């Protein structure tokens, strides 16, 4: 793949055209471009998992991506964060303004070192209830598959799809069978699953990939059955 910069162009609505420009002023290198979609989706996942409004956001870029101008990734993160939580259409032009209006401090942090993957991008934020939240993703393989690789301290590796459910619960025998049966009886197919935990008997984080969305009634049923501390359905908008 050529890594020479692509021509500058700007969509009328303030969005980026696939082979186009960073509205912050620089050109987007082809090596950076696949990360734009990934980071937008990480932003949507972040806002779906947040337990209260965001007060500050760090967009951390780890790895060789930092050989290039990655400022567009900060815009992509903001666009993703606001996409499903504001009534207006969110673009690369108005996303920074939305953050400013809400008093959200935003930083782009760069580190040339990435231990597990060639590149990892992490959105790390402080929330108004005093909690912290981080979501990490990467691109893998020749097809640059978008993967979710971390939520807070829980490591995992799961392709990012349209329908996900994220559950945090106390790890104990038989819990997977409980929610597996609940979804199965409702005709919801679990297409993929990753479970991360820090130690046996500690809290486990389970991320499911589903073939279809889940009703609020079923979500409440599963949440109660497993006594989940956190339970979120994530429906990703097109990017």
* Domains identified in the chain and CATH numbers: 1-160 (3.30.1330.90), 161-239 (3.30.70.260)
Which pLDDT belongs to residue 4? 40
Which pLDDT belongs to residue 77? 98
Q: DSSP code of 64?
A: G
Q: Is the pLDDT of residue 89 over 90?
A: yes
Q: What are 207-233's pLDDT values in tens digits? A: 999 999 999 999 999 999 999 999 999
Q: What are 16-64's pLDDT values in tens digits? A: 544 444 455 567 899 999 999 999 999 999 999 999 999 999 999 999 9
Which pLDDT belongs to residue 20? 43
Q: Is the pLDDT of residue 7 over 80?
A: no
Q: What are 173-196's pLDDT values in tens digits? A: 999 999 999 999 999 999 999 999
Question: What's the half-sphere exposure (Cβ side, CA atoms, 13 Å) at 136?
Answer: 18
8 vs 208, higher pLDDT: 208
| Nearest by Cα to 190 from 171, 167, 164 | 164
- Position of tokens 């969110």? 90
- The pTM (predicted TM-score) of the whole model is 0.90
Cβ-contact 103, 110 below 8 angstroms = no
- Position of tokens 């290039």? 68
Which pLDDT belongs to residue 26? 66
Which pLDDT belongs to residue 13? 47
| pLDDT band at 87; cut points 50, 70, 90 | very high
Cβ-contact 168, 207 below 8 angstroms = no
Q: Is the pLDDT of residue 8 over 90?
A: no
Q: What are 132-176's pLDDT values in tens digits? A: 999 999 999 999 999 999 999 999 999 999 999 999 999 999 999
To the nearest whole percent, how much of the chain has pLDDT over 90?
85
């Amino acid at each position: 793949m050529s890594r020479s910069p692509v021509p500058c162009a700007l969509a009328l609505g303030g969005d980026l055209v696939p082979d186009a420009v960073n509205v912050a002023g620089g050109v987007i290198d082809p090596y950076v471009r696949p990360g734009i979609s990934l980071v937008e989706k990480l932003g949507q996942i972040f806002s779906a998992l947040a337990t209260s409004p965001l007060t500050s956001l760090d967009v951390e870029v780890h790895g060789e991506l930092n050989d290039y101008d990655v400022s567009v990734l900060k815009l992509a993160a903001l666009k993703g964060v606001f996409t499903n939580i504001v009534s207006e259409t969110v673009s690369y032009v108005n996303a920074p303004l939305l953050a400013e209006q809400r008093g959200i401090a935003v930083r782009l942090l760069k580190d040339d070192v990435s231990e597990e993957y060639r590149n990892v991008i992490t959105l790390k934020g402080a929330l108004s209830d005093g909690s912290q939240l981080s979501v990490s993703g990467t691109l893998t393989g020749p097809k640059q598959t978008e993967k979710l690789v971390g939520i807070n301290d829980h490591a995992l590796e799961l392709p990012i799809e349209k329908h996900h459910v994220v559950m945090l619960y106390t790890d104990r025998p038989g819990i997977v069978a409980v929610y597996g049966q609940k979804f199965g009886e409702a005709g919801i197919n679990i297409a993929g699953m990753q479970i991360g935990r820090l130690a046996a008997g500690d809290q486990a984080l389970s991320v499911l990939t589903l073939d279809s969305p889940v009703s609020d009634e079923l979500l409440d049923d599963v949440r109660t059955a497993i006594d989940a501390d956190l339970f979120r359905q994530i429906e990703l908008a097109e990017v």
